[in-house]
Structures are given as C-alpha cells and as structure tokens.
Chain A
Amino acid sequence: MAGMDWFLAILGGYLAIGAVFAVAFVTRGAERIDANARGAGWGFRLMAVPGSAALWPWLAMKWARPRRVVTLTPRDTLAHRRVHLLAWCVIPLLVVAIVAWGWLGGVDPTGVGAVSP
C-alpha cells in the first residue's frame, strides 16, 4: 500500500507540474517550436494539452532551445516492418504463457498466496 501511495503521489506531482506547463505551452510555446501552430485555433490547443502535460520535460527542453525542423527525404520503413513481424511471432507465446498462468491459478509471483479456483 505504502509503495503504491508513493508512486501515485510522484505521478500526481509530475502531472500537476505538467498541467501548469501545458497551459503556457499551448498558448505560447507550441508556435515557437512549430510554425504551423501559429494562429491555430482553440480546438487544436486544447487537444495538445494532455500530450503537453505528459511530455513536459522534453517539450520544455525544446522550447528553451528551439531548432529549425529539418525535413529529410522520408526513410524507408523496412526496419519497422520487420520489427512488427518479429513482435507478432513473440506476442502469441506471451499470451499463451499469461493465460496458462491465469488458468492454473494466478499464483502470486512473490509466493505469498495462490488463487483459490
């Protein structure tokens, strides 16, 4: 319980700072790092709030040192596709393992107790 309380408190603090940051970022910062956000409407700004609150440390860095976005010729997606393929060879094995664990009783990995059927 105590561990979980701590974790939630830290997460809550992080997001609280993020919420304050997000207000400043969507009103002023977004257009500093991306010209396409200049003059954007309230719908867009509101929509950017959750992401800004979640990713605030990274955005703060970008805002402090805005760099021109360089557009490159888009790179091939071959590598990504291979990762997808590999992932879907592993996922079914994981699913079967987890389901078997649940079916056989969902034994607590800490060994404290087992689930009664």
Chain B
Amino acid sequence: MSATYRAVNWNAHKKKYDLIALACVALFVAVYVGVGSLVFRGNGAISAPVLAIRALGVCAVVMLHVVLMIGPMARLTHLAAPLLYNRRHLGVMTFVVALAHAALATLYYGSFGGANPLTVVLTMSGSGASPGAFPFVVPGAVALMVLFLMAATSHDFWLANLGAWWWKWIHMGVYGAYVCIVGHLALGVMQSEKSVVYLVMILVGAGLLSGLHIAAGVRAWKRDARTDDAVQGWIDAGALDAIPMGCAISVRARGHAPVAVYRHEGGVSAIHGVCAHQGGPLAEGRVVGGCVTCPWHGYQYKPEDGCAPAPYDDKLATHEVKVVDGRVMVRIEGDSR
C-alpha cells in the first residue's frame, strides 16, 4: 500500500467494532467487580483493588481466547469474516487490558518493604504457596512483553519495514504468550483457589482453540493438496456455474502460487491468489464495490488488472482466462511463485 501513514485507518465498520469491544470490556470489568463485592462480604471480603486486578486479568485472558479463535473461525465460515477485518484493534486492546492488570498488581502487591516493586512481584509466589514455589508472575510478564511487541508493531509501517516474513513470526509469538498465560494461572491463582473451576476453564479454552485451529488447518491442507498437474499452459479451473457471483475458486498448478478465479459483473478474471499485504488467501474473499477484497484485512484489487484502487499502488499479477463449453480455463505459465 502506498499512501501516507495515518495513526488509525478507521472506517464505519471498524469504529463500530471498536466501540462494541470497548463496551464489552467495561461491562465485563464492572460486572466482575460488582458481583465479586456482593458475593465476598464480611469476613471473606476481597478488597476493591484485588477485585479490579482479577477482573482485568480474567478479561485479558478471555480477550486472548477470542483473538486466537477469530482466525480459524473465519477460515471455516464466511460469517466470521467481519470479525477478522479488525482483529488487530482487538489485539491491541487485549494488551492494554493486560497492562492495566499488571500495573495495578505491581503497584498493589509490590509496594511493600521499599524494594523495587517490579522485583517484588516478579519474585513472589502465589498466595497459599510456600515461599520456594515457582514465581508465577514471571510467565505472566513474558506474555505481557510478547503482547507489547505485537501491539507496538501492529501498524502497517512495521509490516512494510520488518517485511511480512519477520512480522508474521513476531506475531506468531502470541502462541508462546498463550502458553505462558496458562503457566501464570496454573502456578498462580490455581494454587490459592484449589477449585476445579479454573482447571476446567483452562482446559475447555485450550480444547476449543486447538480444535478450531486443527479443523481449519486440515481443511486448508486438503484444499492446497488439490493442485493441477499441468506444469504450464491452460488449466481447467472448473465449471463456471460452480463459482457463485462475486466469489472465487482457487486453482494451483504444480510449482506455482495459487490463482484466484473470480466471477463478477464484468465476467471472469484470474488474479494472483496471495494478497500483497500479508499473504491472505484472495480466493476466499469476495467482490465488494467492484473490487476483489481480501478476507483478512480488506485490501482491494480491481479484478481486470490486479491494481489496487487509488491512492494505493499495489498490483497483483493477473492471468488470461477463457470459458470453453462452460469450463473456466486459466493460463498459468512462467514462474509465478
């Protein structure tokens, strides 16, 4: 994309998305603190700061699960696509909520005894744990650093200058962060609250996440395996009728990148199947306002020539197409990897 950077590329959809997300966070924390102070009263009362620390921590964990679920869900069903367009903002919000949790916890638990508060929290063991037990805040802090790095590099400026390859690997660090959070909970709160609630919630969360990711991964694997053997020349992409209006199918010749074959008002077009932004699968997108729109973050290309609409200057390769006896034929030659 070539256009002067802006702080946030908001549009009506993203604004609505962000407002809803913010409202959910506020509601979650308020309800958690409210219910907590009603349930734990008298002798077992929990002070307001501790309730707030816990509410923010649990909220961040829930948000992390949602962020991690959106990707595979969008690959399994088009219905989840609107959630994907703005996942970045949700990720940054997750970091902010986790940071609030960590800052409050550091101020509250770390300000005894005059030592550096950060040292105090990073070396303490969970309440109910004996002094030598594992310092459960350490994995929490590692996770927070990963979330920070991701939030800090989420702008397109970083994507362009780190390069998609590095950027993706940095952002895959979120899986490490997730595992660290499990450690933060298992060695922290699960030590003082020996109830099965935490155990069951962590396991259900992990089961959901891995189930969704594995299902989406296996499906993509199967689709990618359907490559055509023709090395070059014209390839049969399938029946024209099989492509719904405004949608695409993916064809792949051995040794070539996938090609997205779109059916639109102006006819049929074949365009390089990998988005210039972060390599999103263009064949899984659809035509919006006359442009092929990437399902991941909404980059657009004109189907006729693969050019992004002004002011952007990305261009994807296009391929010749013809319809013969109701079959769509695509010409794939040269090295288009």
Contacts and interface: CB of A to CB of B under 8 A. Distances in A.
B203 interface: yes
Nearest to A101: B186
Closest 9 CB pairs of A and B: A113-B132, A43-B7, A102-B186, A85-B217, A112-B132, A88-B213, A51-B152, A77-B279, A50-B152
Interface of B: 1-8, 115-116, 118-119, 122-123, 125-126, 128-134, 136, 148-149, 151-153, 155, 157-158, 160-161, 164-165, 168, 172, 175, 178-179, 182-183, 185-187, 190-191, 194, 199, 202-203, 206-207, 209-210, 213-214, 217-218, 220-221, 224, 257-258, 272, 274-281, 314, 316-317, 336-337
Interface in A68-117: 69, 71, 73-78, 80-85, 87-89, 91-92, 94-96, 98-99, 101-103, 106-110, 112-117
Given A74-B272, A95-B182, A101-B186, A36 B218 contact: no
A64 interface: no
Given A43-B6, A85-B221, A88-B210, A51 B153 contact: yes
B146 to A, nearest CB: 11
Interface residues of A, number: 61
Contacts of B155: 44, 47-48, 51
**Residue of B157, B185, B199, B207 most packed against chain A (CB within 10 A):** B157
Contacts, number: 198
Contacts of B185: 102
B160 A36 contact: yes
A30 B161 CA distance: 10
Nearest to A46: B7
Contacts of B133: 106-108, 113-115
A37 interface: yes
Given A4-B123, A44-B5, A115-B133, A75 B217 contact: no
Nearest to A9: B116
13 contacts: A36-B157, A77-B280, A81-B217, A81-B224, A82-B217, A91-B210, A99-B182, A99-B190, A99-B199, A106-B190, A114-B132, A115-B191, A117-B194
A88 B217 contact: yes
Contact of A41 (B6, B168, B187, B218): B6
A98 B43 CA distance: 33
B203 A95 contact: yes
A48 to B, nearest CB: 6
Nearest to B164: A74
A10 interface: no
Given A4-B119, A98-B182, A92 B207 contact: yes
Contacts of A37: 4-5, 157
Given A112-B132, A115-B130, A48 B157 contact: yes
A88 B126 contact: no
